[in-house]
Amino acid sequence: MKRILDWTIPYLKEHGSETPRLDAEVLLAFARKCPRIRLYTDYDQPLTNQQRSVMRDLVRRRANAEPVAYLVGHREFFSLDFEVGPGVFIPRPDTELLVMATLDAIQEIESPHVLELCSGSGCIPVSIAKNHATVQVTAIEREPIPFAFSQKNIKKHGVDQRVELIQGNLFEAVPKGRRFHVVVSNPPYVLSSVIPTLQADVRDHEPIAALDGGADGLDAIRHLVEQSPKHLHPGGWLMFELDPTIADASAALLKQHGYQQVEIKTDLAGEPRIAVGRVEGGERRVE
């Protein structure tokens, strides 16, 4: 195995991987059908012919910029394992901040209701439900492939009694008259002009509809800001992920529409990542 890794790591680096060692180890563990930690204890173990064949194919595909998460069929998010594949946006660590902000907003509510839009793999609604015993989540996803992955992941994690998944377009799909304590979303927010400059594994393989936020990155965000008050309880929160370059514009948009306690939260790298705003009727801030 050492020889395989010693060859694979520089090869993937030459082909554009920013995390060649991690990629090589994840792919090798998948080829061996073992936990990644076993690679260190079995370092001198040879691969079978079948394992070598699988590994060669995985490395070839990764060198052609296929995302590792698609190759192995899953991705960890908020310490949970989610099934993913071509056609569904791959969960990112930055989005965990959105889950934490939602959980903080509902921690003192006895039976909170959360609306989650642009559900994708289902990582956000599932993570919220797994970490709050009484929350009810309504999750909306328009596209059929992500919708199917959301269904799988909701059932896989046993939260199908508390996460209602609806196929439809944003607020149009929300059951009439239903109100929520939080509206949360990881919407498309990448500027259209930036899409061609993204890394090949993102640009050429992940769904563009989950990325493209229009000319200024605010197309979906404007809709969220304008429509959320109609669906929130008094004092309810809107929170969404954003690109650092549109943080100021997003905060200004929230304030223009009368939101209170508007705040931009930063990620672990200190970059603006989450916008938070509250409709009239509440006092406590989200930590």
pTM (two decimals) = 0.93
pLDDT for 284 beyond 60 = no
Greater model confidence, 138 or 268: 138
Q: For residue 21, what pLDDT is reported?
A: 96
Q: Is the pLDDT of residue 43 over 90?
A: no
Instruction: Tell me the average pLDDT of the chain.
Output: 96
Residue type, 160: D
Please determine, for residue 136, whether its predicted confidence score (pLDDT) is greater than 70: yes
For range 153-161, the mean pLDDT? 98
What was the pLDDT predicted at 200? Answer: 95
The whole-number pLDDT of residue 128 equals 99
Asked whether the predicted pLDDT for residue 155 surpasses 80, the reply is: yes
pLDDT of residue 45: 87
E strands, the chain, in order: 74-77, 80-83, 113-117, 136-141, 163-167, 180-185, 232-241, 260-266, 272-278
Residue 193: is its pLDDT beyond 90? yes
Q: In this structure, which topology does domain 74-278 adopt according to CATH?
A: Rossmann fold (3.40.50)
Query: What is the per-residue pLDDT for 172?
Result: 96
What's residue 281's pLDDT? 75
C-beta separation of 127 from 69 below 8 A:
no
Predicted pLDDT of residue 287: 58
At 286 the pLDDT is: 57
- Checking if the pLDDT of 91 tops 90, the result is yes
Is the pLDDT assigned to residue 124 strictly greater than 70?
Answer: yes
Q: What is the pLDDT of residue 266?
A: 96
Strand 180-185 versus strand 80-83 pairing type: unpaired
pLDDT at 44: 82
Q: Which residues have C-beta within 8 Å of that of residue 116, sequence separation ≥ 6?
A: 124, 125, 128, 137, 138, 139, 140, 183, 184, 185
pLDDT at 283 > cutoff 70: no
pLDDT above 90: residue 113: yes
- Res 282: pLDDT: 55
- How far CA 7 is from CA of 39, 47, 74, 146, 231, in Å, comes to 15, 14, 25, 35, 55
